[in-house]
Amino acid sequence: MILAAMALAAGAPGPLIIAHRGASGERPEHTIGAYELAIDQGADFIEPDLVSTRDGVLVARHENEISETTDVAAHPEFASRKTTKVIDGQSLTGWFTEDFTLAELKTLRARERLPQLRQANTAYDGRWDVPTLDEIIALVQRREKDTGRRIGLYPETKHPSYFRTLGLPLEEPLVRTLAEAGYVSPDDPVFIQSFEVGNLKRLDGMTRLPLIQLMAAPAGPPDLPDATYAAMSTLAGLAEIALYADGVGVEKAMVIPRDATGHLAQPTSLVRDAHGAGLKVHVWTFRRENYFLPMNLRAGDSPLAHGDVIAEIQAFKATGIDGLFSDNVAEAVAAVR
């Protein structure tokens, strides 16, 4: 499958800029406000993480547990729905989207997930609700008309095997919703990403849209307990990925690790190896706060201060990556454009 979605940035140098959960460094993540700001700042793609409601509607939340990103705990009518569940082997206590209808979920308001690091973002708490995939697509297509440029969608299926066991599969409504909006071919500006393997293989039989295998260095696919992303990032592993996906979405440490002092070390061969297998490489996630940056790119001692994320992005750009996820779109644009 040809990644013709890459043509979206054909007129601009550098890797694709993917707004990680929207402009989440400046607005509460996965809100219409975060997506709008990311588009205004020049993102090539916006990224909605998708989970399901009880009535099978796809909505944008980083996790199906929503106590950190909504005001659900302040709603006494939903107090009895607080529960503990095991999701991909992890025990979580809180409120879960699959226990709410869309109408119920729409009574909640979004709030900043990292208030200790992003205190300014709390000024926007309560301004927006939880958006549906349909609403996000409508925003993108409206802004395309306003700006005269293509704006891509980069949805991630969150915990797809878990949701399928509940009778709330993500793949079918995702492909159907995208198709109804006109996204059906490799030429359309959409990438679908997942940490799971079976999910992507199922999608490969359902759509011609480009697919991205997500990977994190110390872990493995939730649906394949005997597999590791380390093994999947070898030459043999990448060749296997190329049979069902079009690229890999990898955490930064898999491309440029950090040494014992917290500085960037020498790049690995992953970008070169993936390109050799015919795969694109998209890297996550670039954030400007000191807390997330290499030691030599931090500004002062406060973890809240903004360091030199532009220099970090440029170091990764030099490895030949094809795209990058950033919470801070303006800085990403400055670094690569």
- The residue written with tokens 């999608």 in the block is 203
User: What domain range is 236 assigned to?
Assistant: 4-64+130-336
Domain count for the chain: 1
Q: What is the CATH number of the domain that holds 30?
A: 3.20.20.190
In a domain, 46, yes or no: yes
Closest by Cα among 114, 158, 104 to 133: 158
Q: Tell me whether residue 104 is in a domain.
A: no
User: What's the rounded mean pLDDT across residues 309-334?
Assistant: 98
In a domain, 112, yes or no: no
pLDDT in the model for residue 14: 81
- pLDDT, one tens digit per residue, over 164-219 is 999 999 999 999 999 999 999 999 999 999 999 999 999 999 999 999 999 999 89
Instruction: Check whether 306 has a pLDDT greater than 80.
Output: yes
**Region of poorest pLDDT, from 7-21, 42-56, 208-222:** 7-21
**Per the domain annotation, does 332 fall within a domain?**
yes
Residue 10 has a pLDDT of: 44
Q: Does 190 reside within a domain?
A: yes
Looking at the domain assignment, is residue 147 inside a domain? Answer: yes
pLDDT of residue 6: 43
Question: Is residue 146 assigned to a domain?
Answer: yes
Whole-number Å distance between alpha carbons of 28 and 10:
30
pTM of the predicted structure, to 2 decimals: 0.95
Q: Is 74 contained in some domain?
A: no
| DSSP 8-state class, residue 254 | G
Cross-sheet strand order for the sheet of 323-326: 58-60, 49-52, 156-157, 192-194, 211-215, 247-251, 280-286, 323-326, 16-19, 45-46, 152-153
Q: Which helix (H) or strand (E) holds 214?
A: strand 211-215
Q: Which residue would you say has higher pLDDT here, 3 or 149?
A: 149
